[in-house]
Every structure is written in structure tokens, then in C-alpha cells.
Structure 1
């Protein structure tokens, strides 16, 4: 189908605004693919503004401009122009014509050259503090806090005033064992030792710190579970009830007196046999 492309007159202010919008979109994009999509969308919008593709209509267009891209180029003095009808047409006066194929080829080259280059990856030390926190710290930290709340709920820390669960120790071990840099560098070792050595005391800097500054042991009231504490308390109370009986009290009194009288029984036996044994002849 014959097509006519009309090149519209461009506005300098619109070009500046579109260029600024393109640069701003590229700077705010997080990846090259998103920036490429935005730039392609912007170039498509620019094409729509700069070019008007119309289907050839004999009632509206002259056949001279069919399959040509034209733009109005006014000339000061038309009378001085000599027209050769063998190679041109009088309707082409004041117009610049370009074949549509050449025009589309040139436009494709321009848009290809205007595509944004692949941004260089910055190291974490070169990016701003807020961007570093949002990109490297918060994604892992928020997951760690979520797991921390789940573990605290399992340990029933929200139901008691005292608990053996240390939130800082758990969060430290979670951040250390889920560090992407450490996982990438020691991926094979971590796959083999993931379930065996993921303890807070096995972290190297924690192990070195505990050598110089050992922690005091926790009381048994924090280490025992409810079932273990109930079993120990019940067994102690049953033993107390049995020891309270008169017969058991009398037996314990006799055992106490017997131990007092026979405290040094070994010395008494040695002295007895020492006195009965004659001295060896000289």
C-alpha cells in the first residue's frame, strides 16, 4: 500500500524536554533492560511526533510524493529555478524528497546510536549510603528480623519475662550464614557443612572473642524446658515425701551414726595390724 511520510517541524523546547526525560529515566532505572525499554518507548514517541505516516489518497495527495518522505523547504526566489520536466516535477518545488527506505534506514541508525550504553557496575564502596542500605543491607536484614520473630514465638519469649533466647546472637548468626558474599565464595563448603556448623559459637570472630572474654553459664532455670523442669521438681518432691516418713527418718539417723563411728575405719584397721605384726629382725 502506498505510504507518504510527512516530516513535521520540530520544536526546540520539546526536544530539550524529551531529552531530559530520557536521561532522567535512564538514571532512575535499576537495570539495563528497563532503561532500554524506556528509551525505546521514548524514541517511538519521538517518531510519532516527528513523522506523520499517511496512507496515499489521490483526493488529498499528489502522486509525485507517493512512497517519499518530504519536508517543506521554502526558497526565496522561485523565478530563478529552472525545472527539467524529464527528471523532476513542478509540484516538488519548495519540497525536499527522500525515499522511504532510505529515510527508515537513517532513522534506524540514529536510534541505534542514541541507545544508552550499558552502565558500569559500581562497587558497594562507591555508591551512596542510602542506596547501599536499600540494595545490600535491608533485603537480608528484613528477612532476618522476620525469622527472629518466628523463632522468638517458638521459644515463647513473648509469654515470659526471662528466656534463654538471645535475639542479638540469633540475628548475628543469621546474617553471617546468609551473607551472599560468603555463600558465593564458600559455596561448596557451605553445602556440606550447612546443617552441622550453623551455630553462633562456630562463627570465627565469635569464637576468638569467647576465648578472651568467656561468658558466664546460664542458670538451669533458663536452660531447662517446661517438661524437664516439671520432671525434676516432681521427682524431688516425691523423694521429700518419702524421706519425711518416720521409718525412713530412723534408718537415716542410724546410717548417720554408723558413718560417724566408722569414719576412720581404714586407719583403725591399719593400726590394729601394725601392732600385731612383729618387727622384722635386724
Structure 2
């Protein structure tokens, strides 16, 4: 035995064999350990089937993935009008795909809020053009009101939720918009604007676009940054034949709801019917649509 020990410990050739043998053992242990670690780390032989979560809400989809020992990750959102808010519209991997436990499933979901769209400038367009343009962008035409204008069916303003709507303003997609079009009727001699029953912004716009100017403005209660909520209940002069061009028209406005006899309906505006004993001389003007044919 002593000769063997001496051979492996003292002899050069014996030491080489000994070290080689030890190296083989170490390498074998490392290989076995690595394979064992990989087996448990990758959960070899344990697979999961990806459930179908497309069309479900985010919370429902996440819950289904958890039950399958999978994880969800939202990578993008889109806005689709015909889909519910927060609905899952795409998933990757696809349903029924076999994957490892803990695998991420990437999701594209529909927006959880309504997209806001910029309202285009349709002022001075014909009614037909404005309706086609706005509906092509997804807006809805709630109704058409009429105001004083020399041209019938010429767009002179927009309204949203009973307030004047300025072009380029962003409002929710598919919102309902009121178009204000010219009634094609005017005082033949004077083209006099009658604005009783109109909101502040519309009244000012009509007077400024006429041959007259805005005079004194009186509010029944002082406005606090909300002039557009006031309605004209009186103007002076109401309708006279002595007022010259560039003369002022005074206005009285209120936030209080006026009697139905004061507020003009779209049909009354269209037919140029005014309160009081004044009867204007009216003439129909050529429809603006004729210019766009």
C-alpha cells in the first residue's frame, strides 16, 4: 500500500493520473448539478395552455391568466369606437398556445377614456358641406338652428351643450353638435340684426357681422367669467328705420330663464318672427348651396 501511495503522491506520472481522476469527478458533479438546476428552473415537463382573453375586460383577462399561472403585460392601447372601454383587443401568444408557467402574455387594450377630437372650422361652409365633414370625423349633428344671415344655409356658428363652440376646440369623439345656419332672411332696407333670445356669444357675433356695432351691455347680475351663459332678453333699438350704419345696439342680458315668449325657437328665427309690434320687410336671399353646385 505504501508503494501505491508513494506512486500517486511522489511519482510525476502518478500525480497526473490522480489529478485527472479528481478533475473528472468535479466535472461530472458540475454537469449533474447544472442539469438538475436547469430542470427545476425551467420547470421542464410542466406546460400551460394560454386561455382566450381577447374581448374580455382587463380585470377578467388578468384573472384568467393568473389561474393558468401566467402573467399579463399591457404593451399598447388604442381607441376603437365599437369596442368597450378597457376591452382586450389583441393578445400574444394567441389562445391555445402551449407555454411555460409564468410566461408573460402581451396585451393591446382599448382606451379607458373617450378620445377628444378637434372640431374643424366649418364657418362659412354650406350646411350640406359642414354636415358631411363633421359626420365623417365622427361627430353627430344634434339639430340645425337658424340665425340672421344674408345667405340661407351658410354656417355662421356652432354650439355644444348649449354653449358657443369655437373652431379648433377639442371635444369628446362622437359628441352632438348644433349647427347655426343662416336663415336667408333679412330686413330688405336695413338688414337689421334682432338678437333677443340668443346667447351672449351668438348675439355679439351676429351684431359684429352686420352693419352695426355692439353698444352698452348690461347684465342683471355681474358675470364671473361666464358671459356665454347669459341670454339677451332686451335690445335697443329693437327695430327702427332711423338707425344709421355703424350705430350701436344696446343689449340687456340675464342668466335667469326667460318666458317661452321671449326665447326664440329655431323655427321662429327661420321665419323671422319677432316679438312686439314690429313687422320687418323681408326678402329671401339665394340659398348658399347654389354657390357650391
Instruction: Bin the TM-score by the shorter chain.
Output: under 0.3
Q: TM-score, normalised by structure 2?
A: 0.20
Which has the larger share of helix? 1
Which has the larger share of strand? 2
Q: TM-score, normalised by structure 1?
A: 0.21
Instruction: Give the greater-gyration-radius structure (CA).
Output: 1
